[in-house]
Amino acid sequence: MKFAKRVEQLPPYLFVNISRAIAEKKKQGIDVISFGIGDPDIPTPQKVLDALIDSSQKPENHKYPESEGLPEFRKAVAEFYKDRFNVNLDYETEIINLIGAKEGIAHAALCFIDPGDISLSTNPAYPVYEIGTMFAGGQTHFLNLEEKNQYLVDFTSIPTNIAKKAKTLWLNYPNNPTGAIAPISFFEEAVKFCKEFDIALLHDAAYTEVTYDDYVAPSILQVEGAMDIAMEFHSLSKTANMTGWRVGMAAGNKDMVNALMRVKSNIDSGLSQSNQYMGIAALKLSDDWYKQNNEIYKKRRDKVVDVLNSIGVKTVKPKGGLYIWTPVPKGYTSAEFAEKLLNEANVVVTPGNGYGDAGEGYIRLSLTIPDDQIDEGLIRLSKIRVSS
């Protein structure tokens, strides 16, 4: 059989190797604590589940949904943007429902990228920005995120000939995997840069609602002029413990939203209406619910960072996202240190180079495992010795 090049070019999915390593240990009767994948252990809130139960009883929700999503869902997103970011959106033209942010991110490339086109994306990054571009026949020019720049893109480092050719720029703050946050002034720079070079600005805002220490993450759509060139991707997966229900949305420039709607309507038939009602319920959860949920992660973040520092792995506390991103001790590669933790402590972490070669020298730990497992994992990690 002859497969398409795009399939042959695909790297193995990042977590496949981790799952294999865990399975191998399990076969040996060893129980492994995994700080690998970011998938909330906390259940979906009852109010959101109730919305599924109610809506599933209604035959009108058993039918094909519209690709762009129910008007009620899009209205709830518009209200969320108004309350949370003070951004006014027209629910009819500037918002679209997604089958999880990942789906919209992957399909967005089909709206902008022709074979041979260039997309700008960060390194390290959530891998789907690059894969979507590759599926559309384009190429990614990587912008390295460096600790010395607080993991923000340095727009002055982008060669003018590349900027002129680029069709899209992908950003993601609060950032996976680095945990970095972006001030609104950075988003202003991004909007200015994209306007200057006529680039579609695509911001993945999957973690804006998962923040700590009173930090409030901005939306890129708050920037004056952003609606001319930007589309923002959101997800309720991490925000409201809903990874399995696949509820996401994109909002922004109406022509960009319309292009995504046209692509999607030819590929998928939208997200089940019952799941959209779950999304509406999640968007209406109280501020206190969100605070309480983030408090759980904050406590985990503090414990994990303290233990890493105590064993000589110098780590800072991120203000947003669900991950601890930390340099590996001198003398190790990312993979070597991850292997050491697996072999000596039966603890799984993600090697940073899985998010791009600029992630080499780092590991990522996810905070989405139950507290008793975190505590056991930290007991094991605290016994690790690294020479400094």
Ligand X SMILES: Cc1ncc(COP(=O)(O)O)c(C=O)c1O
> What are the residues binding ligand X (CB under 6 A)?
38, 100-102, 126, 172, 176, 204, 206, 235, 237, 243, 248
The three-point CA angle 248-212-296 to 5° equals 80
For the bound state, the minimum distance from the C-beta of residue 234 to ligand X, rounded and expressed in Å, comes to 8
Residue with smaller CB distance to ligand X, 55 or 176:
176
Residue with smaller CB distance to ligand X, 38 or 352:
38
For the bound state, the minimum distance from the C-beta of residue 37 to ligand X, rounded and expressed in Å, comes to 8
For the bound state, the minimum distance from the C-beta of residue 371 to ligand X, rounded and expressed in Å, comes to 21
For the bound state, the minimum distance from the C-beta of residue 359 to ligand X, rounded and expressed in Å, comes to 14
Least Cα distance to 290 among 187, 217, 342 occurs for: 217
Residue with smaller CB distance to ligand X, 101 or 348:
101
Residue with smaller CB distance to ligand X, 197 or 355:
355
For the bound state, the minimum distance from the C-beta of residue 335 to ligand X, rounded and expressed in Å, comes to 21
| Coil, helix or strand at residue 30 | coil
Residue with smaller CB distance to ligand X, 22 or 240:
240
Least Cα distance to 219 among 230, 228, 229 occurs for: 230
For the bound state, the minimum distance from the C-beta of residue 368 to ligand X, rounded and expressed in Å, comes to 10
Pair 222, 228: CB distance under 8 Å: no
Place of tokens 């590349």: 162
Residue with smaller CB distance to ligand X, 248 or 377:
248
Residue with smaller CB distance to ligand X, 36 or 100:
100
Pair 323, 179: CB distance under 8 Å: yes
Pair 50, 367: CB distance under 8 Å: no
Distances (CA, A) of 166 to 4, 110, 121, 124: 25, 14, 10, 19
Q: Provide the CA 17 distance to its chain's centre, in angstroms.
A: 20
For the bound state, the minimum distance from the C-beta of residue 245 to ligand X, rounded and expressed in Å, comes to 9
Place of tokens 């004056």: 224
What CA–CA distance (Å, rounded) separates 276 from 204? 20
Q: In the 8-state DSSP scheme, what is residue 43?
A: P
Distances (CA, A) of 317 to 144, 180, 184, 211, 298: 21, 10, 21, 11, 9
Beta bridge partners of 265: none
What CA–CA distance (Å, rounded) separates 124 from 355? 5
For the bound state, the minimum distance from the C-beta of residue 275 to ligand X, rounded and expressed in Å, comes to 12
- In DSSP notation, 265-306 reads HTT-----HHHHHHHHHHHTS-HHHHHHHHHHHHHHHHHHHH
For the bound state, the minimum distance from the C-beta of residue 196 to ligand X, rounded and expressed in Å, comes to 26
Residue with smaller CB distance to ligand X, 40 or 329:
40
The two tokens of residue 68 are 């762009």
For the bound state, the minimum distance from the C-beta of residue 101 to ligand X, rounded and expressed in Å, comes to 4
Residue with smaller CB distance to ligand X, 11 or 312:
11
The two tokens of residue 267 are 């590929």
Q: Are strands 362-366 and 323-327 parallel, antiparallel or unpaired?
A: antiparallel
Residue with smaller CB distance to ligand X, 271 or 378:
271
The three-point CA angle 242-145-36 to 5° equals 40
